[in-house]
A and B are shown apart, each in its own frame.
Chain A
């Protein structure tokens, strides 16, 4: 079953997109909102949406979801996709910031609000490995400044890293849930 971490952020957009993608790509898995630890029962794929990483991390540490996700992920029982704020939560290292406690799933250094403030938010066409040309939406986006160890780069804008994969974990700094293109979800289902 696919879970969407429903603590804060654009949860319903991911929920709807995942439902459509599940049907479109024929995996026919149910999608469930994960608000509390008990909601993780039976979840094998988890989406961490965009929102405020400080808020999401604070609440998931407090309600126990943090420990549960780290545990399931380390036992290879969980594929995880983090988008925007979600990608920050997946990094081993968050640069110049101790306000967010990340899950530490991917060997990467990430910087919050790396493009600037909301006025620097933008949409652009980017190239994604396995997908090709893709319309990506960046909102107060972070940037992956370094990808090392088993981390592999899947997408860049100019020479900046915007999407990576490591085993069954995928992180992207943009918002696949805000456009109609579902191909990012297809890649997620293939993890």
Chain B
């Protein structure tokens, strides 16, 4: 920090600061970039932030093997190249990768299913970090768990690297419909939903009990995730759900991601209620990245103006798109 602010009342990394950062991204496009040059192109096109990666999701998918956090040197180069925020991805549950990125001053961490998960049971307890996190979600249950764990931003998982928007649409619809459904539920029913959503955290303990040949019952006092008991978790999820019912939206910013390949795709996601969009492979896997980047920024701002969407789409060719049912692996199935 360039200045020495020796104030007693200074607070860093609070929920307000983390969620506030995410709110500043609203109405914007966050673009995947793999080097300083691409980062510059993204910034010039009007991106609100960039996601620093070694490879875009389409290439990660093609390469196979284990996908890990990007080389910090690469991330550093990108951080030095632009003035807009820089985000980077860590593997699901990989606390050490997350701490490493936090120490580098990355502006937001994406705990992402695009990388190979590191923990088969748990996501990171993101409240323990001062850096804000974004996490993917396919439905309201995943979204609520991630928010309770301290995620400052949610995005649809979609199906990354495919150039096929159908899964992003599916996930946005599932989350939105889940939120709407809460309107018609009383507190007792919402509590039941919270109990159901909490089951995901019990996997480890139930497995251990099964292996030990003891009854698969969880004592209300035993820690289930970090120091949290199952009651703490249900209570926490219940509070989030009650707030979501009242707000009729997630309490954090909700972006679209995973398969957005054209300006019209981006406009569609905004029309479905996304607060903004992530474009992964869609820009730098297209034949004209500069034009595509600018066009998607324009389309997000003018999502309700079909004339502008048509105009910016003229002569633009999107990346090759893949049919989701023909994929060997669905990245969206990672995470729980």
Chain A residues with CB under 8 Å of chain B are: 6-13, 35, 50-52, 54-55, 58-59, 62-63, 84-85, 97, 99, 112-125, 137, 139-140, 157-158, 160, 175, 178-179
Contacts and interface: CB of A to CB of B under 8 A. Distances in A.
A65 to B, nearest CB: 11
Contacts of B84: 52, 54-55
A140 B13 CA distance: 12
Contact of B17 (A12, A55, A113, A139): A139
Nearest to B7: A124
Contact of B10 (A51, A114, A122): A122
B24 A115 contact: no
B17 A8 contact: no
Contacts of B14: 123
Interface in B86-142: 102, 105, 107-108, 130-132
B16 interface: yes
B85 A8 contact: no
A55 B85 contact: no
A141 to B, nearest CB: 11
A55 B47 contact: yes
B24 A59 contact: no
B49 A124 contact: no
A150 B173 CA distance: 52
A124 B27 contact: no
Nearest to A13: B23
24 contacts: A6-B27, A8-B48, A9-B26, A10-B20, A10-B26, A11-B26, A11-B27, A12-B26, A50-B24, A54-B83, A62-B298, A85-B24, A112-B83, A114-B2, A117-B85, A118-B21, A120-B1, A120-B12, A121-B20, A122-B5, A122-B12, A137-B16, A178-B20, A179-B16
A158 B1 CA distance: 15
Given A11-B27, A85-B24, A160-B3, A122 B17 contact: yes
Contacts of B28: 8-9, 51-52, 55
Contacts of B108: 118
B18 to A, nearest CB: 9
Nearest to B28: A8
Given A59-B297, A124-B7, A158-B5, A119 B24 contact: no
B167 interface: no
B13 to A, nearest CB: 8
A117 B24 contact: no
Interface string B1-45: 111011101111110110011011111100000000000000110
A186 to B, nearest CB: 22
B175 to A, nearest CB: 18
Nearest to A99: B83
Contact of A52 (B3, B16, B49): B49
Contact of B301 (A7, A112, A125, A140): A7
A54 to B, nearest CB: 6
B26 A115 contact: no
A97 B84 CA distance: 12
Contacts of A175: 20
Contacts of B46: 54-55, 58-59
A51 B48 CA distance: 8
A117 B10 CA distance: 16
B48 A55 contact: yes
Nearest to B132: A118
Given A10-B26, A11-B26, A124 B21 contact: no
B11 A119 contact: no
A100 B26 CA distance: 19
A187 B9 CA distance: 24
A125 B11 CA distance: 10
B107 A9 contact: no
Given A52-B28, A54-B43, A10 B7 contact: no
Contacts of B24: 9-10, 50-52, 84-85, 139-140
Given A119-B12, A119-B105, A123-B14, 14 more contacts: A8-B27, A51-B28, A52-B28, A54-B83, A55-B84, A99-B43, A99-B44, A117-B79, A119-B102, A121-B21, A122-B17, A123-B16, A124-B7, A139-B24
Contacts of A119: 12-13, 102, 105, 107, 130-131
Contacts of B27: 6-9, 11, 51
A34 B27 CA distance: 13
Interface string B41-82: 001101111000000000000000000000000000001000
Given A137-B17, A157-B7, A118 B131 contact: yes
